[in-house]
Amino acid sequence: MEAPSGHPTSLKDKDVKDLVFLTPAEDIAKVRLHNFVVIPTKYRNDKGEEVDGTRFGTFLCRKDPAMREESGNTCPLCDDIGHEAAEKNVAVAVELNATREGKRVLSLEIATRDYKDKDENEHSVPRWGLVIQGPKNFFRPLIAQEQMSGVPLPETAFTVGRIGGDEKTTYAFVAIHAPLPDLSDVIEQVPTLEDVLEEMGSLEKYERELAEVKPGSQKSKYNSGTTSDAASPSASSEFNQTEFEALAQEVGAHKGDVEQY
């Protein structure tokens, strides 16, 4: 595995991103999620040596109502490893690049990530990610914004700003009035929320990624339990993209980094 990429992974205090949500407001999922599961991982350092490290994994709890029938209401993370699930809202979003004059947005383009495959062919893929947030400080104000404007969420670009970096974090949303770029190709390239969640809760993923995770290993400050808006480590520079890169490939998306916002 390669070293984690150095991209900022989430909104830090006073960070601003321009996004469009692909998930309609009524489809934004409310799920039991195991977020920031600490998984032992080997990385290559600058000298090319293999070193021990950790990464964060995200799993749909197998006791989530959508999974209960398949799992018999058992979950290795809840029952064996001892990681507490939290209730979160999840949506898929695509990042946009805005051209601004002062603060006014003149035009929007789809942000892309370029990479070379193993045969050195160059590819350019949309920069998409999952927005995983507690309902109170993020999705409630966002949906209120949609209801007041009368414009469906996937038809509006937003500048999203994070204010604060701890448990008092709030978010500000400003609708952008410049026209949206054509999203039809993006919608084909990015997996649906349903596909992403199915992968995140699959037994294959649990078995593949949790083989080295020991019971009692999750007593970090990030295992913050059931408080849905509790401080998360997403503002930490330790966090990396690997989880979501893997996810994007597994669910059949084109290769490229996927961000968690």
Residue number with CB closer to Zn ion (15 or 84)? 84
* Residue closest to 158 by CA, chosen among 145, 175, 144: 175
Q: How many CB atoms lie within 10 A of CB 18?
A: 21
The CB-of-82 to Zn ion minimum distance in angstroms stands at: 10
* 33 scored as a contact of Zn ion (CB under 5 A): no
* 96 scored as a contact of Zn ion (CB under 5 A): no
What is the spatial distance between Cα 56 and Cα 51, in angstroms, rounded to a whole number? 16
The CB-of-77 to Zn ion minimum distance in angstroms stands at: 4
* Helices assigned H by DSSP within the chain: 68-71, 76, 140-149, 184-189, 193-200, 203-210, 242-250
The CB-of-130 to Zn ion minimum distance in angstroms stands at: 18
The CB-of-5 to Zn ion minimum distance in angstroms stands at: 28
Residue number with CB closer to Zn ion (54 or 71)? 71
What is the spatial distance between Cα 208 and Cα 202, in angstroms, rounded to a whole number? 10
* 77 scored as a contact of Zn ion (CB under 5 A): yes
* 85 scored as a contact of Zn ion (CB under 5 A): yes
The span of 40-48, 66-74, 80-88, 158-166 binding Zn ion (CB under 5 A) equals: 80-88
- Binding-site size for Zn ion (CB under 5 A) equals 6
- Position of tokens 């699959």? 202
The CB-of-81 to Zn ion minimum distance in angstroms stands at: 9
Rg, Å, the chain Cα set: 18
Residue number with CB closer to Zn ion (59 or 138)? 59
Site for Zn ion in 111-150 (CB under 5 A): none
CB 144 within 8 A of CB 1: no
* 258 scored as a contact of Zn ion (CB under 5 A): no
Residue type, 224: S
- Position of tokens 């039991």? 32
What is the spatial distance between Cα 130 and Cα 56, in angstroms, rounded to a whole number? 14
First to last CA, the chain: 23
The span of 12-20, 56-64, 115-123, 182-190 binding Zn ion (CB under 5 A) equals: 56-64
Site for Zn ion in 57-76 (CB under 5 A): 61, 63, 75
Residue type, 6: G
The CB-of-196 to Zn ion minimum distance in angstroms stands at: 17
The CB-of-243 to Zn ion minimum distance in angstroms stands at: 17
Residue type, 216: G
Among 78, 143, 174, 230, binds Zn ion (CB under 5 A): 78
Residues that bind Zn ion (CB under 5 A): 61, 63, 75, 77-78, 85
